Structure 1
Amino acid sequence: MGDVEPIILSRRGAASVQPAASSPAPLKITFDRRELDRILDLYGRMVAQGEWRDYAIDFTRDKAVFAIFRRAMDMPLYRIEKDPRLARRQGMYCVVSQTGHILKRGHELPRVLAVLEKPLKAI
């Protein structure tokens, strides 16, 4: 048996057949509040140090991307990506450099973001 098409009665009593609704549109992958708090905390500290100046967020069917820019018109300096398809393999979080190299990949966001932390300087 296939999809059942509903029959709609108009005001005049004539029946019309409506095509069955297609499958619902796939949901977009997003960062949850906890993940965004971690990312924006790091971003805020790096902005305060003068390292980063702008960001962009992109949500697609496959992954969520937080792109970090040194200047507004540049290519992203780093991309923090969340790809749930890789959750059981290498980990769904990764940090990608401007050249496309994966700097860190893992299952836990704080550990992956640690690669972007600047070491403390002795004064």
Structure 2
Amino acid sequence: MSTPFFGISPDHDRVAFDRAELGMILSLYGRMVAAGEWRDYAMSFLREMAVFSVFRRAAENPLYRIEKRPRLRAAQGQYAVIGMDGRVLKRGHDLPAVLRVLEKKLIRPVD
């Protein structure tokens, strides 16, 4: 059973990120904010999935969505990173491995 966040009770009606998952996501988010790439985020806890959306500006569509879909756990993997255009950039069973697709954005050539 997952730990509740922000007053959301851990019932079976909603999917949520647990504390460890959210820690990994927020760590990446902090590095991307420090790099000037991201500036805002939103979280949604729905019946079928939990979504962490990242934005360059609050008024825009999300640049990326990090999704957790427990029903896909046995198939392709419950974690996915979805791009702005709706393409699945990475899907898998291991959240750190899935998040690496976004960490590649931090690597820049030094001039």
Structure 1 unaligned regions, length at least 5: 1-24
Which residue identity lines up with residue 91 of structure 2 in the other structure? R
**Which residue is equivalent to 1:61?**
47
Which residue pairs with 1:113 in the alignment?
Answer: 99
Matches for 1:16-95 after TM superposition, within 5 Å: 26-95=12-81
Higher normalized helix content (fraction of residues)? 2
Structure number, greater radius of gyration: 1
The amino acid that maps onto 1:100 is G
The one-letter amino acid paired with 2:17 is: F
Q: Which has the higher contact order (CA 8 A, sep 6+)?
A: 2
1:26 Cα deviation from its structure 2 partner: 4.0
User: 1:68-104: per-residue Cα shift (whole Å, max 9, x none)?
Assistant: 0000100000000000000000000000000000000
Gapped runs of 5+ residues in structure 2? 1-10
Q: TM-score, normalised by structure 2?
A: 0.85
The SS at the match of 1:44 is helix
1:120 CA displacement: 5.0
